[in-house]
A and B are shown apart, each in its own frame.
Chain A
Amino acid sequence: MTFTQWNKKLKKRLSALPAQERGKVLAYYEELYMDKRDAGMTEADILAGFSSPEEAAARAAEGSEAPAPKGNAAGRFFFMLVLYLFIGIPVIAAIFSLAVTAAALFLSGFAVLAAGIADFFYFLIQICLYGAGGAYIAHLGIGLGCAGAGALLVPLFLFLTKALLTACGKLLRATGRYIRGKKETV
């Protein structure tokens, strides 16, 4: 684990603390990390001294009180139920549909890539067999163009699919945390 990864985990575990307090804890560990590095310690040795992010967060939270959630759990559940019926479910359905579309486009990107390569080689064979006609050469170009377009579409739509599915997951987790009346705790 690197310090960046350790710090990211710690930050997540501190999410129940007020932003100012969280900033102080992160600054404290960053300062220690820099001081230890200046003293010639390796990243592994430094992190071994810090203990786990979970333990560091638990210690840092000693004496701190997480902000009290507003309203009671039943009220929050009812509020989110109404919100979900009219807004949440349609929004999630829309995001999920977009994700499915993106996944389909991701697959079609592969299809375009494969078709382009097949077209190129098919007409390359045709040229070898029947000579270099204008139409055959044009098809070689079309094949290469399709393969290039497919190669560009695949990573783009892969990224889009991942982003949209992640958005669905985050929305659902945030709702769950709101209903439970707390942020991610230590």
Chain B
Amino acid sequence: MSISGFSEFESNTNDSILNLNKSLSQNGFTISIDKNTVVESPIEILFISTTETNFSQYRNLISIAENAEVKFVERIQNLNNSSSFVNNFTRINCDKNTKIEYNKIQNNTSESQLIDTVNVYQEQDSTCDINTLIFGGSFTRNNLNFEQNGFNCESNMNGVSVLDNNQLADNHTFVDHKSANCRSNEMYKGIYLDNSKGVFNGKIMVRPDAQKIDAFQSNNNLLLSENSSIDSKPQLEIYADDVKCSHGCTIGQLDDDALFYMRSRGIGIEEAKAVLTYAFASEAIENISVDQVKLLSKKLLAQKLNVELDFSV
């Protein structure tokens, strides 16, 4: 395994934000995992900014060679209360039969803006999971783009967004099924308080030769205030004829019967709401395999809902 600093690499794109990243970036990391290596402990990556009016472009490259396995935990955090803009781009190359889990924890201050793009290129028999956990930031945009270039690839995405005040989180996902016998699975849970707003745009493309694709996408949202909102847009573009693709979207509030049930057991109304909200998010949180990330998510959720509860039993 090798870990080093910024390295230049190509990204063919017309995207203005990525072009901005390419032309200005001087920081970032380069990580290569050798073949047949299983990295036992997760690798933690921290992007901390402390300067006033931070304007940063990070450019990162991860290459995982055949039969390797690795997990990451990435945190992007602005410690200064002044305004901040981070444009982060990560390219992940997954060689044959690799397994990778990438956990992103985005808990930014209310003046921080983040655009985070991850492009994943998968070869045969590889599995890549990306979990996006958003707990704060005035504007947070995640672009996850998966390209499946070999048989039997699997791409999994889990997302939990918990927003309050005027925060906005936007999750854009794109899975390009270019090869047959592959799978993709997306589960995004959004919890919106106050005046917060969420966006989910999930696109699944199935190319003409990509038969026997199994793609699933779900986006469930809890609007916990009158003024919060969510725009949800699933997009399926299918050119093969023997595939299974489905998507579902729900928008709702907490169940009154369940709330009364909990209150009748002595649990206060705010705590009962928090427990039900946690229950709503837990399906996505439980898919994370790194225990510390799970614990931290539960803690941040309780903090965000303003209750002193320990969800970890």
Tell me if chain B binds chain A.
no
- List chain A positions with a Cβ less than 8 A from chain B: none
